[in-house]
């Protein structure tokens, strides 16, 4: 997206931070090589988790999710879905923890070319494209990912960040088992949350988010603001803002 387009969107939608990487340079080296040059995005969230955190506190997780919902709404409104939401594709800037950037668009899909939503056709694409642990059921079945796919994946990520595992995390080499479990828990969100949180308190915001997202139809437009408000209200109770510096300690 052009920087001017992003800035216009931010102003019109009252979004103070929209972390989508902008290309700051383009060079043609030879007829065979092309280069895109981006500013330093910082560190991946996965690398931060690998430092020893493993889990995120609710405050940090909710702050990140609100920013990602901003990003996803923007790219969805511009006819594309991301297709591979994972901590490996989310960047934090140690020098400025207000910056959260969504990158990694190798599985991006134009779900709405010219304003017309593609039809849901299983097997129309290669099945299981993306990060197996977090991709949506649509992606598993070879249907073009839609808006609900990104939000489903984000829900799985949030659950993993808060609990450290998903019911299928130890069976990623058995993709059909992963699909079976995602199908099972799509219809039983309460059981999914109880299994992951065990004896811990389940955040109302997460429970509501998963219920709403997993109930979306393939072509249905999500209510992004309602989803953001779930986490913003939870953050307000923590006396925090969604757009404060992310509450996480990290080294450069």
Residues involved in catalysis: 84
SS3 assignment for 94-152: CCCCCCEEECCCCCCEECCHHHCCCCCCCCCCCCCCCCCCCCCHHHHCCCCCCHHHHHH
Residue 63 and residue 247 in contact, taking contact as beta carbons nearer than 8 Å: yes
Residue 234: Cβ within 10 Å count: 20
The C-alpha angle 14, 15, 20, rounded to 5 degrees, equals 150
Judging by beta carbons within 10 Å of its beta carbon (0-12, 13-18, 19+), is residue 189 exposed, middle or buried? buried
Element (H, E) at 34: strand 34-38
């Amino acid at each position: 997206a052009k920087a001017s387009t992003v800035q216009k969107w931010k102003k019109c939608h009252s979004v103070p931070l929209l972390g989508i990487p902008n290309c700051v340079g383009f060079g043609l080296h030879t007829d065979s090589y092309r280069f895109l040059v981006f500013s330093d995005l910082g560190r991946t969230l996965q690398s931060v988790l690998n430092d020893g955190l493993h889990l995120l506190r609710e405050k940090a997780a909710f702050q990140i999710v609100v920013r990602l919902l901003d990003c996803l709404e923007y790219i969805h409104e511009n006819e594309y879905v991301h297709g591979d939401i994972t901590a490996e594709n989310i960047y934090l800037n140690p020098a400025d923890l207000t910056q959260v950037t969504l990158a990694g668009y190798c599985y991006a899909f134009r779900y709405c070319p010219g304003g017309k939503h593609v039809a849901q056709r299983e097997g129309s694409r290669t099945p299981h494209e993306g990060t197996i642990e977090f991709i949506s059921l649509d992606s598993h079945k070879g249907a073009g990912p839609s808006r609900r796919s990104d939000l489903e994946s984000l829900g799985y990520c949030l659950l993993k960040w808060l609990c450290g595992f998903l019911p299928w995390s130890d069976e990623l080499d058995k993709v059909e088992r992963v699909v079976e479990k995602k199908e099972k828990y799509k219809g039983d969100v309460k059981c999914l949350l109880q299994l992951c949180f065990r004896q811990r308190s389940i955040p109302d915001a997460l429970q509501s988010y998963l219920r709403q997202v997993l109930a979306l139809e393939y072509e249905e437009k999500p209510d992004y603001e309602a989803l953001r408000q779930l986490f913003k209200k939870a953050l307000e109770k923590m006396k925090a803002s969604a757009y404060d510096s992310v509450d996480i300690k990290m080294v450069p």
